[in-house]
Structure 1
Amino acid sequence: MNITSPIFLIEDNPMDVDLTRRAFVRHNLTNPLQVARDGQEALDFLAGWKAGEPVPSLILLDLKLPKVDGLEVLRIIRAHPTFGTVPVVVLTSSAEDRDIHEAYSLGANSYIVKPVDFEKFIDVARQIELYWTVLNMHCFSKSRTSE
Structure 2
Amino acid sequence: MQELRKGNIVFMLVEDDYDQEVIVSRVVKNSKIAKDFVFTRNGKEALDYIFGEGSYSDRDISIMPEIILLDLKLPKIGGFEVLKRLKSDIQTKDIPVVVYSSSCEEADKARSYQLGAYDYIDKPLDTRKFEKIIKGLGFSFSTG
TM-score (norm 2): 0.79
1:84 aligned to 2:93? yes
Structure 2: runs of 5+ lacking an equivalent: 1-6, 53-58, 140-144
Look up the match of 1:131: 133
Q: CA deviation at 1:79?
A: 1.0
Pick from 5, 16, 19: which aligns with 1:15?
A: 19
Look up the match of 2:64: 55
1 or 2 for the larger relative contact order (CA 8 Å, sep ≥6)? 2
Look up the match of 1:70: 79
Q: CA deviation at 1:25?
A: 2.6
Look up the match of 2:55: none
Partners in 1 of 2:10 and 2:122 — Cα distance?
Answer: 22
TM-score (norm 1): 0.78
Q: Equivalent pairs: percent with the same residue?
A: 35
Partners in 2 of 1:101 and 1:21 — Cα distance?
Answer: 27
CA contact (8 A) 1:29 1:129 kept: no
Look up the match of 1:114: 123
CA contact (8 A) 2:11 2:38 kept: yes
| Greater helix content | 1
Partners in 1 of 2:133 and 2:84 — Cα distance?
Answer: 22
Larger radius of gyration: 1
Secondary structure, aligned partner of 1:83: coil
Structure 1: runs of 5+ lacking an equivalent: 116-120, 138-147
CA contact (8 A) 1:5 1:55 kept: no
Two-structure CA RMSD over aligned residues (Å): 1.8
Number of residue equivalences:
127
Letter of the aligned partner of 1:126 in structure 2?
Answer: R
CA contact (8 A) 2:99 2:120 kept: yes
Q: CA deviation at 1:80?
A: 1.6
Q: CA deviation at 1:42?
A: 0.7
